């Protein structure tokens, strides 16, 4: 009796390595993308908080209304100047460059402050440009309580 040799199977040593490298690359790209999105979201939230604080400072820098009863009067120039003064007194977060301020008072009782800036992400990656335009607007209504 002659023994028939079993058919030889090709070796599959190392065939999992390219698959593991591919999955690791995809996982790393997703982690970088999630970090970049989180960084941009936090930068937007910080800018909004800064605009909100500047609007609050602007609403508190009112002139007395020229009426018989106590009242306030906000002007566009006064709101803008108060917001600029506030921003010069606080520390602007790093990464923001060229913060521009515009303020207005639509009804004489409210202060609306808009901030625009260019943000450089902390984590530069191939998924994002080297700068991102951000804008935040906050409105605060001033009032006197007797």
- The tens digit of pLDDT for each residue in 126-143 reads 566 668 899 999 999 877
pTM for this one?
0.78
> Residue ranges per domain, the chain?
18-49, 72-145
pLDDT of 48 reads 96
Measured between alpha carbons, how far is 126 from 142 in angstroms, rounded to an integer? 45
**Pairs from 76-82 (Cβ < 8 Å, separation ≥ 24):** 76/103, 76/104, 76/105, 78/105, 79/103, 79/104, 79/105, 79/111, 79/112, 79/113, 80/104, 82/54, 82/57, 82/58, 82/111
pLDDT for 27-43, tens place per residue? 998 998 898 889 889 99
Percent of the chain scoring above 70 in pLDDT: 84
pLDDT for 109-123, tens place per residue? 889 999 999 988 877
């Amino acid at each position: 009796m002659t023994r028939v040799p079993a058919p030889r199977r090709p070796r599959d040593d190392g065939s999992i390595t390219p698959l593991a490298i591919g999955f690791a690359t995809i996982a790393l790209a997703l982690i970088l993308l999630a970090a970049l999105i989180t960084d941009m979201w936090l930068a937007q939230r910080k800018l909004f908080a800064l605009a909100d604080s500047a609007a609050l400072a602007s609403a508190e820098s009112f002139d007395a209304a020229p009426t018989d009863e106590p009242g306030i009067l906000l002007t566009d120039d006064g709101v803008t100047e108060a917001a600029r003064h506030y921003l010069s007194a606080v520390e602007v977060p790093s990464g923001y460059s060229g913060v521009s301020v515009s303020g207005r008072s639509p009804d004489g009782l409210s202060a609306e402050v808009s901030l625009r800036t260019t943000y450089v992400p902390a984590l530069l990656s191939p998924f994002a440009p080297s700068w991102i335009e951000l804008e935040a607007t906050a409105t605060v209504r001033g009032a006197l309580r007797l």
